Structure 1
Amino acid sequence: MRDWGQFIRFCIVGTLVAGIYFSGYLLFLAAGLAQGFANAAAFAFAVTVQYVLQTWWTFRRPLSLPDQMVRFACSIGAGFVVSAMITAVLGPALGWPDWVSGALVTVWLPVQNYIVFRVWVYAAAC
């Protein structure tokens, strides 16, 4: 790998964002929001933090590039589709317990995101 520093920054941001999502979800639930709204609010906040930190710190790109923002949003959407396919289609079809599907998503999505971010979302920075 050409830039270990970039990979390490990606991992740090990913870990931080996961913690932000989890904490935010629990806080929104404690504040009385329904699960769907708590999830959406925590997800939106976490993805916003992810965009800012991955763009500015990990990939060292300007924040306000509209095409880059659209590519980032598409990559997040693709991740959601993949996670839904694993947890709602693949796992049940193969008879996996929910925790196996969730674990696969937890491992798969960061790998997918790093590749997509490097080759498409932030390609000019690599």
Structure 2
Amino acid sequence: MRMQRFAIIGVLVALSYLLLYLAFLALDLPRVIANALAFGLAICLQYVGQTCFTFGRRLQDLAQLIRFGVMVSCGFVTSAGVTGWLGPLFAVPDWAVAAVVTVILPVQNYLLMRLWVYAPPQGHERLS
């Protein structure tokens, strides 16, 4: 059930990013600013959704929030590595590289969330 909740939040976050980005462009914001605002708001939505809905944790946990931020940074490094290094190295078309990132990041994020970001404290393992 947790994986389904993770997927629901993931789809909602992706749609939110898309709609926010387009809305900011419609307000005549520069692309860089529109992207940064949409991305930042989508990450906030992702944190709230994954924390409360998927993993049933409290939002007010600074260490957890920091781990989440590190996870997002790891996702950026992964996507940058695949799109900026591996794709060109193997002459993979841009659409295929983007598809690979679209598959890798949710798997990477789920594993990091499950095993580290939202891992229960030692001795308090939860079954779910």
Normalising by structure 1, report the TM-score.
0.94
1:17-56 paired onto structure 2 within 5 Å: 17-56=13-52
Normalising by structure 2, report the TM-score.
0.93
Q: What corresponds to 2:62 in structure 1?
A: 66
Q: What corresponds to 2:80 in structure 1?
A: 84
Match of 1:101 among 68, 91, 97: 97
The separation in 2 between residues aligned to 1:101 and 1:31, in whole angstroms, is 30
* 1:123 partner SS: coil
Q: What corresponds to 1:121 in structure 2?
A: 117
CA RMSD of aligned residues (A): 0.9
Structure 2: tracts of 5 or more residues without a match: 121-125
Letter in 2 for 1:77: S
Would you say how many aligned residue pairs link Structure 1 and Structure 2? 122
| Paired-residue identity, % | 48
Structure holding more helix per residue = 1
